[in-house]
Amino acid sequence: MKAVSGRDNRLYKWLYFALRAGIACSLCLVVLGFILFGITEAGFARSIITLGILILVLTPFSSIVLAVVNFLMEKDKLYLGLSITIVCILALSLVRALV
């Protein structure tokens, strides 16, 4: 079993932080949207809820982008290529879903 290096550990910490921050931000926006939905006009509240859901959808995308940056700094061409391919697939599917 291979030990985790300092750089890998740093990547895992950043990925962990990005996923937790994305989920927490999304949750706060959705809850705020539901609260505003009950006390103000529905259009603004729906926009806040939609923003929260969009952040939730983009959270995994941000972790892949962090991995791309990490592999670029480490000059690991194999995993860099795989990560860029995954980013392109996610971006194309997101664009296709929105259009």
Domain boundaries, the chain: 6-98
Look at the pTM and tell me if it is higher than 0.75.
no
Cβ atoms of 11 and 69 within 8 Å: the answer is no
**Is residue 13 very low, low, confident or very high in pLDDT (cuts 50, 70, 90)?**
confident
pLDDT per residue over 29-68, tens digit each?
999 999 999 898 788 999 999 999 999 988 888 888 888 8
